[in-house]
Chain A
């Protein structure tokens, strides 16, 4: 084992303060990252339910679903294009759902939940074929907050139109829990509560294009069809166009970046101090034939081990912390985010440990003698 690691394991107390500080910063990073992912995911569930498909917006809509109006004749023209397997409509509106609860008694209605109501044509990897009139598919999030199950009746909109839950799908939260019905049923339900929100006859908000092969080819096919006034984009592009996602994401990315800078400073400061303490020792090492590179390698090894310990303890503490947070908070701990935090921490710590390179280079082996 290298001399530097022996130092680390035999004098762990020297390293406990920096490890502790890094651990807390990692908890902060996990929580911030969790909110970033949670907020983004909870605004985009309906989009992600269409992953792998291409979305066709009206080109003046700035890629905003509720601002877009696309004639359904466009769908007919697109469906015959090569590279396109199927085309359907997608409409959305925000409304409320009353949860009919027989046990609650007299009025049979004790709770109103905000929901996003979607009308759709095409099944996706997540969504089954649209249910028949009078039925709806709801997502896991609505099941969680409203405690409903398949066969229950929910009452949609201000007019409390009853629909029966036909199936429950994964959490597709899109600003609110989601309810999915067929396009005709959607128009009927929306018209009952808020007629002005229904797109004109013969139009949908956007079209969903199921590619025959890849989404990129389907985008090319739509562009090549020579239809004016529409824009085909991927689901990821549509998500990027959401203001709320952009704002939250840049805010959190900013905080996360600052946190990494703090990690860098903490590690750099620690190793600067420890190097100052070790000038004499390093002079001896150099006099005995050690090269500057070896000494730096030793510091880097210490930085990596400290990071690994801080990551392990930090992740465990984060899990504990998150388990105490109320479940309504939109916090999602994603493995990819954890990987990014772990890697970022190790790289940052390595950088921090190398800040002392110049100082170590300047240590004169002659200082060891006399």
Chain B
């Protein structure tokens, strides 16, 4: 990072005006014939390059599906999805996985840390995928993130030696490790008690705002809604 100022690192020039995410008329239909489920129904959503959107909705309303499609994990059945200036429909499967690694950060609902890697190695691992190398810059970034997330003294611990909140913080660090343009976070507080959930959300908000990154945070926890710049509600696959 080349920012001369200590905090607010500027986003890349190209993405200042371009929205981080543009979904236009996006539908996602699971299954076929009688078993069809319309998980997303003609969704239009634009997330500005430094915006933090909170997505709420009842269980089964399509929140996770929206993240999956926005994050290039699943292709939309119809409609267009643009991340920055890239139309995901133009990318082949191979390019898609490299795109995910470089441009998108995920925090999965079930945390999903690699059980046999330490906190620090869990962050570094995302650098290795797709044939990347762990250089000094990567190590410095991992250490800086762990420090910011209050995990400096936990960096050598395995996930089994961390509390639920600490694991969630490692997952956030992992999502930010490759300096993504868009961070997608699925129910970050669902496994935490409310005080811990509050803390994790504060941290998440700070990290994301500090970096000027766009984010979608899925939740059905009423108390975390305030952290977003904007709240969007989804019911039966359609945005309200």
Q: Please give the residue numbers on chain A whose beta carbons come within 8 Å of chain B beta carbons, in ascending order.
A: 2-3, 6-7, 10-11, 280-281, 284-291, 294, 365-366, 368-370
Contacts and interface: CB of A to CB of B under 8 A. Distances in A.
B68 interface: yes
Contacts of A289: 97-98, 100-102, 126, 129-130
Contacts of B67: 369
A6 B116 CA distance: 7
Contacts of A286: 97
Contacts of B38: none
Interface in B86-128: 94, 97-98, 100-102, 106, 108-109, 112, 114-117, 121, 125-126, 128
Interface string B161-203: 0000000000000100000000000100000000000000000
Contacts of A7: 116
Q: Which of A6, A289, A366 counts the most chain B CB atoms within 10 A? A: A289
Given A10-B116, A287-B73, 6 more contacts: A3-B128, A288-B174, A289-B97, A291-B94, A369-B68, A370-B186
Interface string B139-180: 000000000000000000000000000000000001000000
B116 A370 contact: no
Q: Is the interface of B mostly helix, strand, loop or mixed?
A: helix
Contacts of A285: 129
A245 B112 CA distance: 59
A369 B97 contact: no
A62 to B, nearest CB: 61
Given A290-B130, A369-B71, A3 B109 contact: no
Contacts of B73: 287, 365-366, 368-369
A360 to B, nearest CB: 13
Given A3-B128, A366-B68, A369-B109, A288 B100 contact: yes
A365 B93 CA distance: 11
A284 B108 contact: yes
7 contacts: A2-B128, A6-B116, A6-B121, A281-B112, A286-B97, A294-B131, A370-B64
Contacts of B71: 287, 369
A294 B112 CA distance: 19
A369 B175 CA distance: 13
A280 B128 CA distance: 19
A288 B126 contact: yes
Nearest to A14: B116
B74 interface: yes
Given A3-B128, A286-B97, A369 B186 contact: yes
B97 A291 contact: yes
Nearest to A286: B97
A163 B74 CA distance: 90
A284 B115 CA distance: 12
Contacts of B100: 287-289, 365
Given A3-B125, A289-B98, A291-B94, A368 B106 contact: yes
A238 B61 CA distance: 81
A21 B115 CA distance: 26
Nearest to A284: B112
A224 B174 CA distance: 79
A7 B115 CA distance: 9
A118 to B, nearest CB: 64
Contact of A11 (B98, B102, B116): B116
Contacts of A10: 116
Contacts of A3: 114, 117, 125, 128
A7 B131 CA distance: 18
Among B98, B102, B115, B128, the most chain A Cβ lie within 10 Å of the Cβ of B128
A288 B64 contact: no
A294 B74 CA distance: 21
A290 B117 contact: no
Contacts of A366: 68, 73-74
A288 B99 CA distance: 10
B178 to A, nearest CB: 8
A366 B64 CA distance: 10
B116 A288 contact: no
A288 B125 CA distance: 9
A115 to B, nearest CB: 63
B64 A369 contact: yes
A284 B73 CA distance: 11
